[in-house]
Amino acid sequence: MRDHYGRRRLAVAVSPARPARGRARTVRDLVALMLAALMLAACTGETVPAPRSTGPSGALYGQVIAADGGPATDAEVRMFQMTRDDKVRTGVAVFSLGLFCLAPGFCPTPVNAKVSSQGAYSFPTRVMKETRDLTVTATEPSSDDDTSAMSTSVSFVRRSAPQRAPDLVLWQPRVEVETSGERASVSWSRLGDAPHGPRITYTVGVRRKSSGSGELQQLGAQSTRTTSSFDLRPYEDEPTELIVAAGTKASVDGEEVELAYRSAGHDLPLGTAPPSRERPCLVDDPDGGLRPAKAPCPLTDGEFDNHAEVLAPGECSVDTRTCEATSHRRLCVDLGTPRQVSLIVFRTPFTLGSDEIRAEVSRDGRHFVTVGAGQNDQEIVPIEVKPQRTARIVCLRGSFSGNLFQELSVW
């Protein structure tokens, strides 16, 4: 369960004295890493031509309808033929923001279909496999005002050919984002005439625009509401897109199908840079005290794609073969003067283990108070400090060596 801050269960970076760069993820995290947006250009497979009419042609056929009700002639249609092993290996979840695993050799290979001038598509018998479960997806290219494409997916059971797939109706909700101080409120129009069942759940996700079609970070749990509120600060001054997804189950021709609708991407207003930006860092010494780290500190430089090591003078990198790297229990930011601390955010490209990373604050660098802990399963890990604490030093405590973190931000 995630709260409206998009907060997940956080987690500790456990790393003895080995490089973190090549650290393997768990199977679950490997799958999550390979989840990609359905409109990935890298998706390959056989392409079948568009049918000449909207009538039955081929083993599987259907129609793509644009958000305005007309034929979606420029949509891209793909079919995934799912075996039971595929479902287990890819962790298919059409309700989780319309994502699907397209990793070559690991996930099922899609078959692409051309769309006719009437919005029709079809898949001939020769491309069909002996599988029970099918997923068909339509993706509409982005407009000038969108940051990424909208898409619709439908999952259903294969029957005897020829079989008509449920209509793929693209969803273009009216999304409005308002900001008030450090908060953002987003609202959107309900799923309307598109096929859906009696219960529709909505999800909001965000993604760094620089990551292209990378993994989305879900904000909060699925809900039947059409509004959401969250803290803008974890996304601070980096361009980010916001996407709304709808999921539902419906009865089509007497059989239950699963449908997932994903809106186009929209620009998220920028948050404010944290007071910790470009502040010096500290690391623990062998006696348990704190000493200055080498400057400038990579934890506070605002370079979110850089995960350099935090080292004290005289310490060597984990990449240096001639000496043994130092493992630290604390990596800290010195805010310069005591101030109210309400939010701590760390970023990492790694899954850091099952132990807990603890967030700590201190007025003097000698006495510490733990204000949060947990596990990380996404790159951005926010820790809300409740009640707020007055502190000059903010630390992450665990067992750290190597270049684990991209940034530590404190507000």
Q: Could you read off the pLDDT of 115-133 as tens digits, one per residue?
A: 999 999 999 999 998 888 9
For 330-346, what is the mean pLDDT? 96
- Asked if 2 contacts 389 with a C-beta cutoff of 8 angstroms, the reply is no
For 171-194, what is the mean pLDDT? 93
For residue 210, give the DSSP letter.
G
Phi/psi-derived region of residue 318, left when phi > 0, alpha when psi is between -120 and 50, beta in every other case: alpha
Band of pLDDT at residue 373, cut at 50, 70 and 90: confident
| Residue range 38-268, CATH number | 2.60.40.10
Band of pLDDT at residue 62, cut at 50, 70 and 90: very high
Measured between its terminal Cα atoms, the distance across the chain in Å is 24
For 290-302, what is the mean pLDDT? 95
pLDDT above 70 as % of the chain:
78
For 176-182, what is the mean pLDDT? 92
* pLDDT computed for residue 161 by the predictor: 85
Band of pLDDT at residue 316, cut at 50, 70 and 90: confident
Residue 213 has pLDDT above 70, yes or no: no
Band of pLDDT at residue 354, cut at 50, 70 and 90: low
The C-alpha angle 77, 78, 81, rounded to 5 degrees, equals 150
Contacts for 165 with CB less than 8 Å, ≥ 6 apart: 60, 61, 62, 134, 136, 154, 156
* pLDDT computed for residue 46 by the predictor: 74
For 243-262, what is the mean pLDDT? 93
Residue 75 has pLDDT above 80, yes or no: yes
* pLDDT computed for residue 300 by the predictor: 96
For 263-290, what is the mean pLDDT? 91
The more confidently predicted of residues 105 and 257 is 257
Identical fold for domains 38-268 and 281-410, yes or no, is no
* pLDDT computed for residue 201 by the predictor: 96
The more confidently predicted of residues 28 and 291 is 291
Band of pLDDT at residue 304, cut at 50, 70 and 90: confident
What is the C-alpha separation between 48 and 57, in angstroms, rounded?
12
| Residue range 281-410, CATH number | 2.60.120.260
The more confidently predicted of residues 60 and 221 is 60
For 36-46, what is the mean pLDDT? 42
Name the helix (H) or strand (E) containing 47: strand 47-48
* pLDDT computed for residue 237 by the predictor: 77
Band of pLDDT at residue 353, cut at 50, 70 and 90: low
Average pLDDT over all residues of the chain: 81
- Give this prediction's pTM: 0.77
Where are the domains positioned within the chain? 38-268, 281-410
| Partner residues linked to 287 by β-bridges | none
